[in-house]
Amino acid sequence: MKEKMVIFFCLLLPQTFTYAQQYDVVIDEIMADPTPQVALPNNEWIELKNTSSFPINLQGWRLADAIGKTGAMPNFILPPDSFVIVCTGSAVAALAPYGNVISVTNFPSLDNDGDIISLYDANGKTIHAIQYSSSWYQNELKKNGGWSLEMIDIKNPCGGMSNWKASTDASGGTPGKKNSVDGINKDETAPKLLRAYPINSSNIIFVYAEPLDSANASNVANYSFDNGLSAISASAIPPLFNEVNIVLNTPITAGTIYTITAKNITDCAGNIIGKKNTARFGMTDNADTFDIVINEILYNPKPGGVDYVEVYNRSEKIIDLSKIYIANRNSSNVISSIEQLSQESILLFPKDFMVITEDADVVKNQYVTTNSDAFITVSNMPSFNDDAGDVIILNNQGAIIDEVDYTDKWQFPLITNSEGVALERIDYNAPSVQNNFHSAATSVGYGTPGYKNSQYRIDENITGEIKVTPNIFSPDNDGIDDFATIDYSFPSPGYVTNISIFDASGRVVRYLEKNSLSGTKGYYRWDGLDDKNKKLPQGIYIIYTEIFNTAGKEKQFKNTIVLARRY
């Protein structure tokens, strides 16, 4: 009889569980920036919601940010479909009127622009984690403070920015009650493998676009490699589970680019990985002078636009962009506004491009982009003036890799308004000077961020002493034969060059170069304009080049070219 009574008594007790599965409790609202106040107390807080069908005891649970963990939560039973506000002890009285509140010691100082917030159970298991940013507000006014960030669909806990937005409640948030933006927002997007990088010769980190199902992400059978590699082990990395650490069977070697292919990987909503399932990696090397060149500059963006700088890896090295910096020069001509391209390892492979900007989405909306992954966001981009400026790329020793000292006068002279027109490098191997840059073509929308420039060309090895290409050019800024290139190859340095352009009647219409000191090899360019920067009519022209040096040697060259125009 006694045994039966005990059993009956236990059945009458409320079921309280101190354990939970991942996402049974979620972080569903964050007040990271309570000032300027709207109507809620001037305190930071985090709201948790029980998404399961049973009560959960939060005793011993902890929150954490990128710096450290809070103290343990007290004995508190969170019923199904209910909320609790978590804050520091001094904020309890102010937040108590809004619902259940529990305090923890060492409550994290929530960064306004972004932070990683994690929730752990008493055994240290990750229950939920998010990495928010100010862009999650999706509202320029509200991201300045006073409004909370709310999750839209609690059944989509890994949705990231697409499943969060600023509260629409008049008070600025909804602590202790259902979110004002609550709704159905299913995750139907397949996970994507973004990139990979080595932490040493045998351990590789693979980065995905969203959190994964940690079990199948940690299955070595789901990964294959080229060049004879295979995985010994794989483990999804908490708290976000969007990265996987793989230990290889053999160390990778310098100078080799490897490729991984992932299969059967799913996100936490069950979507299986699709076409974006490969990534390259390899041992990185330090960047030296001219390994990376500044390939394109947008310094005067369109209305609502942002600056961008495109770089190109002309070396054979794999370069880690976390060790690369962008900068400008101040009014005293001192290198300033130095910004690291990335705190995370992002690899720039040989012959690849990367676009550096404050807002990649804005650039992608305003220009055609064929490689949406070739973008890196720098939140505090150095300023590049509309009239003139310096773009500088540095390595982690502070040495200049490349520098372009541009002015707006570098633009094609017939462009009356350079707003939204990028300057493109013509030749990767030529110096970073005016003669090697040209306005991006009209046909590509005046910019080619992330892919080959519209004005790109590599000068050929010239067998003769003077060669003019092409035979017919059409300077209409359409990206096709927009200028004539006068390549020269002289037997020794020290020659002085004069170049004059004659029309078919024998009249001089342009003095292209006057007493220019030339190297042994190089080039000059003619844009089809006369000395007053006016368009010359179509027709046949003579390019007359004369060279001489201090030893008294001299020579003359005549080359014929056709200038064509479309009317």
pLDDT at site 259: 97
> 508-532 burial string, b = 16+ CB within 10 Å, else e?
ebbebbeeeebeeebbbebbbbeee
User: Is residue 541 exposed (0-12), middle (13-18) or buried (19+ Cβ within 10 Å)?
Assistant: buried
Question: Is residue 47 within 8 Å of 86, Cβ to Cβ?
Answer: yes
Order of strands across the sheet with 193-198? 193-198, 203-208, 243-248, 231-236
Domain identity same for 130 and 199: no
pLDDT at site 511: 95
DSSP β-ladder status, 83-87 and 101-103: parallel
pLDDT at site 190: 95
pLDDT in tens, 130-186: 999 999 999 999 999 999 999 999 999 999 999 999 999 999 999 999 999 999 999
Give residue 99's pLDDT band: very low, low, confident or very high (50, 70, 90).
very high
Interatomic CA distance for residues 325 and 303, integer angstroms: 27
Residue 428 lies in a domain: yes
Backbone φ/ψ region at 327: left (φ over 0), alpha (ψ -120 to 50), beta: beta
User: Is residue 99 exposed (0-12), middle (13-18) or buried (19+ Cβ within 10 Å)?
Assistant: middle
Domain identity same for 66 and 153: yes
Domain identity same for 46 and 143: yes
CATH (domain of 433): 2.60.40.1260
Domain identity same for 270 and 324: no
Helix (H), strand (E) counts: the chain: 4, 38
pLDDT at site 459: 55
pLDDT at site 1: 40
Count how many domains the chain has: 4
Interatomic CA distance for residues 145 and 68, integer angstroms: 24
Q: What is the distance of C-alpha 99 from the center of its chain?
A: 41
pLDDT beyond 80 at 431: yes
Question: Mean pLDDT, the chain, as a whole number?
Answer: 92
Give residue 519's pLDDT band: very low, low, confident or very high (50, 70, 90).
confident
Domain identity same for 307 and 414: yes
Give residue 457's pLDDT band: very low, low, confident or very high (50, 70, 90).
confident
Domain identity same for 423 and 517: no
Would you call the peptide bond into 36 cis, given omega within 30 degrees of 0 as the criterion?
A: yes
* CA distances from residue 441 to 296, 357, 459, 476, 482 in whole angstroms, order as listed: 12, 21, 19, 9, 9
Question: Is residue 558 within 8 Å of 465, Cβ to Cβ?
Answer: no
Question: Is residue 434 within 8 Å of 425, Cβ to Cβ?
Answer: no
Helix (H) or strand (E) holding 77, with range, is: strand 77-78
Domain identity same for 413 and 297: yes
* Number of other CB atoms surrounding residue 10 within 10 Å: 9
pLDDT in tens, 315-362: 999 999 999 999 999 999 999 999 999 999 999 999 999 999 999 999
Domain identity same for 269 and 318: no
Decide which of 259 and 457 is more confident.
Answer: 259
Residue 321 sits at φ, ψ, to 5 deg, of -70, -10
CATH (domain of 273): 2.60.40.1220
Instruction: Please count the CA atoms within 13 angstroms of the CA of 355 that sit on its side-chain side.
Output: 32
CATH (domain of 528): 2.60.40.4070
pLDDT in tens, 19-53: 799 999 999 999 999 999 999 999 999 999 999 99
The residue out of 281, 302, 320 marking a domain boundary is: 281
| Percent of all residues in the chain with a pLDDT value above 70, rounded to a whole number | 95
pLDDT at site 15: 47
pLDDT in tens, 468-492: 999 999 998 888 899 999 998 887 7
pLDDT at site 349: 98
Residue 213 lies in a domain: yes
Residue 557 lies in a domain: yes
Helix, strand or coil, per DSSP, at residue 44: coil
pLDDT at site 515: 86
pLDDT beyond 60 at 68: yes
Domain identity same for 154 and 250: no
Domain that holds residue 303: 292-444
pLDDT beyond 50 at 12: no
pLDDT beyond 80 at 461: no
Domain identity same for 220 and 311: no
Structure tokens at 21: 């599965």
pLDDT in tens, 399-420: 999 999 999 999 988 788 999 9
The mean-pLDDT minimum among 60-64, 261-265, 393-397, 485-489 falls in 485-489
pLDDT at site 458: 64
pLDDT beyond 60 at 11: no
Residue 204 lies in a domain: yes
Domain identity same for 271 and 297: no
Residue 494 lies in a domain: yes
pLDDT beyond 70 at 462: no
Residue 15 lies in a domain: no
* CA distances from residue 314 to 237, 289, 317, 429 in whole angstroms, order as listed: 34, 11, 9, 8
pLDDT at site 567: 60
Question: Is residue 190 within 8 Å of 271, Cβ to Cβ?
Answer: yes
- The mean per-residue pLDDT over the stretch 383-394 comes to 97
pLDDT beyond 60 at 13: no
pLDDT beyond 50 at 96: yes
Residue 332 sits at φ, ψ, to 5 deg, of -95, 10
Q: In sequence order, what are the residues at sequence separation of 6 or more whose Cβ sits closer than 8 angstroms to the Cβ of residue 319?
A: 284, 285, 286, 287, 291, 292, 313, 347, 348
Residue 229 lies in a domain: yes
Domain identity same for 416 and 330: yes
Residue 427 lies in a domain: yes
User: Is residue 534 exposed (0-12), middle (13-18) or buried (19+ Cβ within 10 Å)?
Assistant: exposed
Helix (H) or strand (E) holding 215, with range, is: helix 214-217
* CA distances from residue 132 to 118, 156, 160, 166, 233 in whole angstroms, order as listed: 11, 15, 7, 12, 30
pLDDT beyond 70 at 220: yes
